């Protein structure tokens, strides 16, 4: 390969990768110096001149003239007789600059040089992509569906960068076709080898938070602050909002007239049910609001153990717990307190713990996690709903119901 051909190849890379001139020239010089080290053992005495605009590349080897029988370092020294072939008036002790053509490096070295150049440019390109997307972590990004696999969807952005949307980062109701545009947040960016692995998520709470920033001007402008977001992706979410300006109703501003502002967000998340709640430092009030739409009668808080006992009217209990136990679970995550629900007038009810002789403790714990601590709270639920709300088999639940019913029949 002639010098000019390498420069032309070099220019193609520049146009294709949009790498700035200084960086690309530094890469080319680095690659050339590596080739010279392999060929001559050292590159300190070589000058490399690159002019990509003219397609010009020159390599000059500098050596000192020594007497014919005194050459000890062939790369650093040149015999007087050899120097005088270049220029007859050379004398011992003078410097000789001799141009080295790429062809002098040998065919193998030239092929390796070109491959090394391609590799270095790709490495630089990948490093830039990594830095670009690392700065975008936690931000909303859009890309097009390129390939659909069983465990992930491969997306491509406008620059051809590959982004992975794993199955477990998709909302359960998500269904995408090739060519469709997808929005999510850039959740993580890692260098695997020299290639950046960019992962998108649609299930992360921060995705919902960023959608609020995009869709609601007061949130974008900082007039409304999002204090916390908790989600069961595709099912239900709770968002606690606050405002330093008393004239602004943060919940009303986020929801909009007849839900107009939040409607687009709900649709983006596969009709996820979103509760927007006014944040407050008053813990009793915050837990009450978090359990919305249920109306709480009273609350008893154990701050040391981060537990709250909530008393409700019987007809409010199912609202507090919610379908699949989603409401009470999210209320607990939002407030940071484990919430136990009790019914008003439950004197005739019996705590599940009193059945520990007949029901194993781990089964009782499973019901407690779903906010079901008494016999009647279990008996009032459908078997199908209990299967969804707990990690228990239907057969186990039916056995528990039989034991509880026997207690009340007696």
pLDDT at residue 54, as a whole number: 60
Q: Give the CATH number for residue 255.
A: 3.30.300.20
Looking at the structure, tell me whether residues 15 and 88 fall in a common domain: yes
118 in a structural domain: yes
Q: Are 201 and 139 in contact (CB under 8 A)?
A: no
From the list 296, 381, 371, 383, the residue with the least C-alpha distance to 339 is: 371
Q: Is the dihedral of CA 30, 31, 33, 38 positive or negative?
A: positive
Q: Give the CATH number for residue 121.
A: 3.30.1480
Write the pLDDT tens digit of every residue in 123-182. Answer: 777 777 888 899 999 999 999 999 999 899 999 998 888 999 999 999 999 999 999 999
Looking at the structure, tell me whether residues 149 and 186 fall in a common domain: yes
Looking at the structure, tell me whether residues 172 and 222 fall in a common domain: no
Residues 6+ apart with CB under 8 A from 135: none
Write the pLDDT tens digit of every residue in 338-360. Answer: 998 887 765 567 788 878 888 88
Looking at the structure, tell me whether residues 11 and 112 fall in a common domain: yes
290 in a structural domain: no
Give the end of a domain, one of 183, 201, 219: 201
Model confidence at 285: pLDDT above 70: yes
pLDDT at residue 165, as a whole number: 96
407 in a structural domain: no
Instruction: Work out the average pLDDT over 78-86.
Output: 86
Give the end of a domain, one of 201, 218, 244: 201
Mean pLDDT of the chain: 85
Looking at the structure, tell me whether residues 18 and 64 fall in a common domain: yes
Looking at the structure, tell me whether residues 72 and 159 fall in a common domain: no
Q: Are 327 and 309 in contact (CB under 8 A)?
A: no
Looking at the structure, tell me whether residues 105 and 10 fall in a common domain: yes
Give the end of a domain, one of 89, 110, 131: 131
How many domains are contained in the chain? Answer: 3
Looking at the structure, tell me whether residues 173 and 258 fall in a common domain: no
pLDDT at residue 372, as a whole number: 82
Model confidence at 49: pLDDT above 70: yes
Looking at the structure, tell me whether residues 158 and 221 fall in a common domain: no
The domain of 22 spans 3-131
Whole-angstrom CA distances from 339 to 244, 331, 356 are 29, 8, 21
pLDDT at residue 10, as a whole number: 54
Looking at the structure, tell me whether residues 99 and 186 fall in a common domain: no
Model confidence at 189: pLDDT above 60: yes
pLDDT at residue 1, as a whole number: 42
What's the pLDDT band for 4 if we cut at 50, 70, 90? very low
Looking at the structure, tell me whether residues 192 and 159 fall in a common domain: yes
Can you name the residues that pair with 237 across neighbouring β-strands? 231, 274
């Amino acid at each position: 390969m002639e010098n000019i051909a390498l420069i032309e190849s070099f220019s193609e890379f520049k146009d294709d990768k949009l790498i700035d001139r200084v960086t690309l020239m530094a890469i080319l010089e680095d690659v050339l110096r590596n080739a010279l080290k392999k060929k001559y053992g050292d590159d300190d005495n070589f000058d490399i001149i690159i002019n990509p605009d003219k397609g010009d590349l020159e390599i000059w080897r500098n050596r000192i003239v020594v007497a014919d029988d005194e050459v000890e370092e062939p790369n650093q020294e040149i015999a007087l007789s050899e120097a005088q072939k270049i220029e007859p008036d050379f004398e011992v002790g003078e410097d000789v600059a001799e141009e080295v053509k790429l062809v002098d490096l040998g065919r193998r070295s030239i092929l390796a040089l070109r491959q090394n150049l391609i590799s270095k440019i790709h490495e630089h390109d990948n490093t830039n992509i990594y830095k670009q997307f690392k700065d975008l972590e936690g931000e909303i990004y859009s890309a097009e569906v390129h390939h659909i696999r069983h465990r992930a969807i491969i997306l491509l952005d406008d620059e051809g960068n590959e982004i992975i949307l794993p199955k477990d980062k998709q909302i359960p109701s998500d269904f995408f076709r090739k060519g469709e545009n997808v929005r999510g947040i850039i959740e993580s960016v890692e260098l695997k080898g020299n290639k950046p692995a960019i992962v998108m998520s649609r299930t992360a709470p921060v995705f919902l938070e960023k959608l609020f920033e995009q869709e609601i001007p007061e949130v974008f402008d900082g007039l409304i602050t999002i204090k916390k977001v908790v989600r069961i992706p595709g099912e239900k979410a709770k968002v606690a909002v606050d405002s330093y300006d008393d004239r602004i109703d943060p919940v009303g501003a986020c929801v909009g007239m007849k839900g107009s502002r939040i409607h687009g967000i709900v649709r983006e998340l596969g009709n996820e049910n979103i509760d927007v709640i006014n944040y407050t430092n008053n813990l009793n009030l915050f837990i009450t609001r978090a359990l919305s739409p249920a109306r709480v009668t009273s609350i008893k808080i154990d701050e040391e153990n981060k537990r709250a006992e909530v008393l409700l009217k019987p007809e409010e209990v199912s609202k507090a717990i919610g379908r699949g136990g989603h409401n009470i679970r999210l209320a607990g995550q939002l407030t940071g307190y484990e919430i136990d629900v009790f019914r008003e007038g439950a004197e005739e009810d019996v705590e599940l713990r009193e059945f520990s002789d007949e029901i194993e403790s781990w089964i009782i714990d499973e019901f407690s996690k779903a906010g079901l601590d008494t016999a009647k709270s279990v008996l009032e639920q459908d078997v199908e709903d209990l299967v969804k709300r707990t990690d228990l088999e239907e057969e186990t639940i039916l056995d528990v119901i039989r034991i509880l019913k026997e207690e009340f029949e007696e």
